[in-house]
Amino acid sequence: MRGLRLVLAVVRKELLLEWRDPSRLTGLLVFSAALTLLLAFAMPGVHVLPDVAAGAIWLGLVLASTRSLDQSFRTEVENGALEGLVLWPVPSLVIFHGKALANAIVLLLVAVPLTALVFVLYHPRMHGSVVDLGVVLTLGCMALAAPGTLVAAIATQARGSSALLPVLFFPLVVPVVLAATRATTLVLEGDPMDQVGAWVKLLLVFDLAHWTLDGLLFSRIVDEG
């Protein structure tokens, strides 16, 4: 119970930071919107846009997540707050889960308008339900947030961290992009073969593995003096 309360306190702090500096979130939104626009122009023609809608959403989210992860750790190292947190009586696991959860929420806050924008610009079909789409978006954002938080924590300790972050992050989330894009496509275009479950299961397994394992690695690297 105490652990959960502390996790929520960390989440609250993160979201409060986003709230007090709205330029961070709007920056992400503008970034992903511009990316969606650019991607449409990089396609061979308007007729393929409905087919690549899911890909546009997830590409936008992955690229936006590198920015948001970088930002979320920059506030922590700015005045030594991360070290302060480690010295505060709060377990490192709590810090990790709080930050990862907050990052997932921020990503979802980007994902919803981004999906709406893709609907407007790319005209994908919509066969599945909005609930299904929501589940896929949530699982996908969580699957980006947990390893992303760990990798950002690793990268901030090195020189040139914002350049290092994608180098470590992109290979790690290949399965997320794959599974989330497949699942989203199946939700959008209809799923006659009933395959969406397999992809969602893959996302779920990825989520479970990273939300448990990465916390241990995180505590190992931040609390070692």
Nearer to other proteins, 13 or 67 (CB): 13
Give the footprint of other proteins on residues 166-185 (CB under 8 A). Answer: 167-168, 170-172, 174-175, 178-179, 182
First vs last C-alpha separation in the chain: 28
CB under 8 Å to 176, separation ≥6 — which residues? 62, 140, 143, 144, 203, 206
The beta strands (E) that lie in the chain are given as none
Q: What is the chain's percent helix, strand, coil content, to nearest 5?
A: 85, 0, 15
Residues 115-154, one symbol each (x = binds other proteins by CB under 8 A, - = not), give --------------------------------x--xx--x
Shortest CB 174 distance to other proteins, Å: 5
Interface pick for other proteins out of 81, 108, 109, 126 (rule CB under 8 A): 81
CB of 180 to other proteins, least distance (A): 11
Say how many residues touch other proteins, by CB under 8 A: 59
Q: Cβ of residue 165: shortest distance to other proteins, in angstroms?
A: 10
Nearer to other proteins, 30 or 87 (CB): 87
Whether 68 and 110 have beta carbons less than 8 Å apart is answered as yes
- Which of 4, 37, 38, 87 is in the footprint of other proteins by CB under 8 A? 87
Q: Which of residues 183-212 bind other proteins (CB under 8 A)?
A: 198-199, 202, 205-206, 209
Region of 175 please: left (phi>0), alpha (psi -120 to 50) or beta: alpha
- Report if residue 49 touches other proteins, rule: CB under 8 A: no
**What's the burial of 159, exposed, middle or buried (CB within 10 Å: 0-12/13-18/19+)?**
exposed
Smallest Cα–Cα separation from 67: which of 32, 21, 92? 32
d(CA 185, CA 52): 8
Q: Are 211 and 147 in contact (CB under 8 A)?
A: no
| Choice between 133 and 179, CB closer to other proteins | 179
Beta carbons of 79 and 141 less than 8 angstroms apart: no
What residues line the site for other proteins (CB under 8 A)?
Answer: 2, 5-6, 9-10, 12-13, 16-17, 20-21, 75, 78-81, 83-91, 98, 147, 150-151, 154-155, 157-160, 164, 167-168, 170-172, 174-175, 178-179, 182, 198-199, 202, 205-206, 209, 213-214, 217, 220-221, 224-225
